[in-house]
Structure 1
Amino acid sequence: MPTIKETLTHAGFDDITSNIYLLLLQKGELTVPQMQKVTGLSRASVYNAITELDKWKLLEHRKEGRNAFYRPSHPNNLDTLAEQKKRDAQLFQNEIKETIESLIGTYNLTFHKPGVRFLEGMDGFKEVLWDSLTAKEEIYTIADLGEAVRIAPEINREYTTQREKLGIRKKILILDDSDANKFLTSIDTPLLQVRRIAKGSCPFKTSLQIYDHKVVYMTLEKQAPVSMIIQDKNIYTLQRFMFEKLWEESK
């Protein structure tokens, strides 16, 4: 069975904080100078320990003149610490699971195995978009470009600049949208071919990119965008075929 000090250490307290807590349990009530005298610690070290113990409600204090007296609160308050550690452990477990899923996707993509990589948020949106800057072939894209420009104008402009520098060609099918048209006018380039999906098409707030045996989906919701890279030769071939048919029918 572990000692009390070992348990406190497992709970996250450093050696000094554990010693101060045990000292107060033994002595009952002490001032900071008295704690210094018994432990030989500096004033700053004692106050750091007091701050940590107070954060977990393991400490009480009272004022008497200019002096502050500290005493331990009831040991039952350690339950609060135990519950927090339990929540932290569960959160860490969830984060590890999400990280493993992401790493599996990255591993599969790196070693050219069929796989899926899933990312969330604007950081994920940018990371997935930037992946297409590694494209070795012309990128095929279907996008609600107007929505993409509205939720991330700077990211889209920066991406376009980088793609131009790398000389990567792109064909893009877009909804006929005023913001999209304005954006495209500002980046007129021979590396980009644009056709518009028939008027009346429903806004889909999504972008699809096809390149290098990859199919990339990005939802265009500013609050919680979701992005996904699928690497599979058969899915890529199907999506590429569907894009080319739709391209032929569009203007």
Structure 2
Amino acid sequence: MTTDKSLQKKIQKLGLSDMSAQIYIFLLQSGGAYPSAIAKETKINRTTVYRILTDLHVKGLAVEVKKKNKLFYQLEPPVNLLAYTDMQIHLAQKRKKEAEQIFPDINALFEALPHKPTMRFFEGADQIVHFAYNDIYTQEGSYEICGWSNISEFQLSLPEDALDTYYQAYLDKGLSSRAFHQESEKYSRLQQRKTKYPQLFELQQQKYFKKDSFPYESQILIYGTDRVCIVTDHKETAVAFIIEDKIFHQMMKMIFNFSWDNYKE
């Protein structure tokens, strides 16, 4: 029996694991089966099949009945799948409230720890877009972003809606920036994407360096009150890391200001 892969993926999105969704679909298509038959058809080992069937039973998605003194499994009515997702929402909301209640205590303990810089690492364009760049544009309040940038090719490869989100953040949050860029055809193309946000040109100050002055395909951004993000466009895959430390942030800002004030194009 061929499993409906498309439907299986949709069921996975409701919170079931890959194998749980596979067994759910098998029971749906077969009308019910013994664990041995499920294991044979799905090629999932029998011990795992029993564990998943028990889990589906506990979740109210499958029912076990005895046939010929053996346990036989079939699905509960599909409406139970809706009830299961409602329960997931309820549990998530409950956990969120519990997290909000204990947050002040946890945060107080965290703040009392000896000072240590925090570093987070991200690999690949997706992680850089969703985590590193998202962090850059979502700090509290209005602030300035400063840095050096020579990754126009990487930025041109990003989805246009992602760039639009960053540009819009400048306007919504009142952000501003000062940055050094390598003057190139690729950077000119990147600038053209901003034409639908004419206000950006007033919020973003730029100075240009020659290729020999900063040959690395990297970006260093200083932002918020304590963050520095470094992105490197390696040939294999782009990587980024964020350092969260007030002293390091202040040192980098001091170096940037010195470079900015003394740089002659």
TM-score, normalization by structure 1 = 0.54
1:178 aligns with one of 182, 185, 195: 185
The answer for the alignment partner of 2:133 in structure 1 is 129
Distance (whole Å) between structure 1 residues aligned to residue 182 and residue 166 of structure 2: 20
2:155 aligns with one of 143, 149, 153: 149
Distance (whole Å) between structure 2 residues aligned to residue 233 and residue 219 of structure 1: 22
The gaps in structure 2 that reach 5 residues or longer are: 1-18, 24-30, 47-106
User: How many angstroms does 1:142 deviate by?
Assistant: 0.9
**Aligned residues between the structures:** 163
User: How many angstroms does 1:169 deviate by?
Assistant: 0.7
User: How many angstroms does 1:240 deviate by?
Assistant: 0.9
The answer for the alignment partner of 1:51 in structure 2 is 41
Quote the sequence identity (%): 22
TM-score, normalization by structure 2 = 0.52
User: How many angstroms does 1:123 deviate by?
Assistant: 2.4
- Seen in structure 2, the aligned counterparts of structure 1 residues 134 and 55 have a Cα distance that, compared at 3 Å, is closer
User: How many angstroms does 1:152 deviate by?
Assistant: 2.0
1:213 aligns with one of 222, 226, 247: 226
The gaps in structure 1 that reach 5 residues or longer are: 1-12, 18-40, 58-106
- The secondary structure found in structure 1 opposite 2:216 is coil
Task: Give matches, 1:31-110, under 5 Å.
Answer: 42-43=32-33, 46-52=36-42, 54=43
- Seen in structure 2, the aligned counterparts of structure 1 residues 148 and 42 have a Cα distance that, compared at 3 Å, is closer
1:120 aligns with one of 93, 99, 123: 123
- Seen in structure 2, the aligned counterparts of structure 1 residues 215 and 243 have a Cα distance that, compared at 3 Å, is same
The answer for the alignment partner of 1:194 in structure 2 is 206
Q: Point out the more displaced range, 227-236 or 194-203.
A: 194-203
Distance (whole Å) between structure 2 residues aligned to residue 147 and residue 174 of structure 1: 13
1:167 aligns with one of 174, 181, 188: 174
User: How many angstroms does 1:230 deviate by?
Assistant: 0.6
CA deviations over 1:34-71 (Å, ceiling 9, x no partner): xxxxxxx954655312224x5669xxxxxxxxxxxxxx
Distance (whole Å) between structure 1 residues aligned to residue 222 and residue 229 of structure 2: 6
User: How many angstroms does 1:223 deviate by?
Assistant: 4.5
Q: Which amino acid aligns with 1:191?
A: L
Distance (whole Å) between structure 2 residues aligned to residue 209 and residue 199 of structure 1: 19
- The secondary structure found in structure 2 opposite 1:200 is helix
Q: 1:246 aligned to 2:246?
A: no
8 Å CA contact 2:143–2:174 kept in 1: the answer is: no
What's the Cα RMSD here? 3.4
- The secondary structure found in structure 1 opposite 2:137 is helix
Distance (whole Å) between structure 2 residues aligned to residue 218 and residue 228 of structure 1: 7
Larger Rg: 1
Q: Which amino acid aligns with 2:38?
A: N
The answer for the alignment partner of 1:139 in structure 2 is 145
